[in-house]
């Protein structure tokens, strides 16, 4: 396994991170526990979840899976999205974060979170309130490092400035979408993170399954796929241009003797500034196949081809 420093911290995390939003949903508990154990057995230490994934079941399953192996896992969870119908059941206020951390700790059966992330920018809460709350959670020992997710470059820059100005803990990582089908973060966010020493943990490295070979131009999506169960995904990702890219990537992968998912993950993990790529699984066999991407030794010219195809 490849391990990288998380931003400016001394924490080392696996370049391949386990995504768990299917736990308790598309993957039942027994299968999910098996996926976690397989990941740990193969050197994956970064496990990403959130309080809202499958209504908390993801965290609960992870807690059971790592109960006797807590020291091997770097658990990253999130808070900030809607958890109920009350007026304070979302956002990154002190009130909401202090309540949600307790729920996550209980479900995960742990007394600390390695990386606590704000799930999305909250324009209704001042950044200094959010960062003071996170600073307190670190001081209390409930959180070791903090991060954010789905922040634009200006939002992250403002947060870093606020932390520096008020002498508060600063975001050690950001979690944006990134793949050959979505390279928007290359314009501003990645350069900012390289300059400021912020780790980048990307999600959707396979574009939500688009770059796995399951979707083809002119063919209906396979039954049970995300494009069928989540119509918004189909509207966002299954465009003619992206389906064409998926087809071209599949051809290139066949040319070099790997799966299109392996080629895509290897390219994402090799990009400057990327710390880790979050990869989900609903079967151990699927994870084993994708994990081969970590050890691929591909000619740089192949990665150049990927960049050209996706440009």
Active site residues: 53
> What is the C-alpha to C-alpha distance for residues 107 and 113, in angstroms, rounded to an integer?
11
The label of the residue with tokens 């920018």 reads 121
10 Å Cβ neighbour count for 282? 16
**Which of 132, 21, 147, 125 has its CA nearest to residue 74?**
147
Q: Report d(CA 120, CA 97) in Å as an integer.
A: 13
């Amino acid at each position: 396994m490849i391990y990288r420093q998380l931003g400016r911290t001394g924490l080392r995390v696996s370049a391949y991170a386990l995504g768990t939003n299917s736990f308790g949903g598309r993957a039942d508990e027994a299968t999910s526990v098996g996926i976690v154990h397989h990941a740990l057995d193969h050197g994956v230490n970064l496990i990403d979840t959130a309080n809202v994934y499958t209504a908390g079941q993801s965290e609960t399953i992870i807690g059971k899976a790592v109960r006797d192996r807590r020291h091997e896992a770097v658990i990253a969870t999130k808070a900030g999205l809607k958890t109920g119908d009350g007026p304070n059941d979302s956002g990154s206020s002190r009130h909401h974060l202090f309540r949600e951390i307790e729920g996550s700790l209980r479900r995960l059966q742990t007394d600390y979170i390695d990386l606590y992330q704000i799930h999305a920018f909250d324009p209704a809460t001042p950044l200094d309130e959010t960062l003071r709350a996170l600073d307190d959670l670190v001081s209390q020992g409930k959180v070791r490092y903090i991060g954010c997710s789905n922040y634009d470059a200006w939002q992250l820059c403002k947060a870093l400035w606020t932390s520096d100005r008020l002498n508060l803990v600063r975001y050690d990582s950001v979690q944006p979408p990134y793949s050959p089908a979505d390279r928007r973060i290359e314009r501003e966010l990645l350069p900012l993170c390289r300059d400021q020493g912020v780790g980048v943990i990307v999600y959707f490295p396979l574009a939500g399954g688009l770059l796995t070979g399951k979707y083809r131009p002119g063919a209906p999506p396979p039954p049970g796929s995300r494009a069928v169960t989540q119509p918004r995904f189909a509207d966002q990702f299954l465009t003619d241009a992206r389906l064409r890219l998926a087809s071209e990537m599949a051809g290139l992968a066949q040319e070099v003797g790997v799966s299109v998912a392996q080629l895509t993950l290897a390219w994402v993990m090799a990009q400057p500034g990327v710390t880790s790529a979050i990869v989900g699984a609903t079967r151990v066999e699927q994870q084993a196949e994708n994990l081969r991407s970590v050890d691929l030794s591909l000619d740089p010219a192949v990665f150049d081809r990927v960049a050209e195809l996706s440009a």
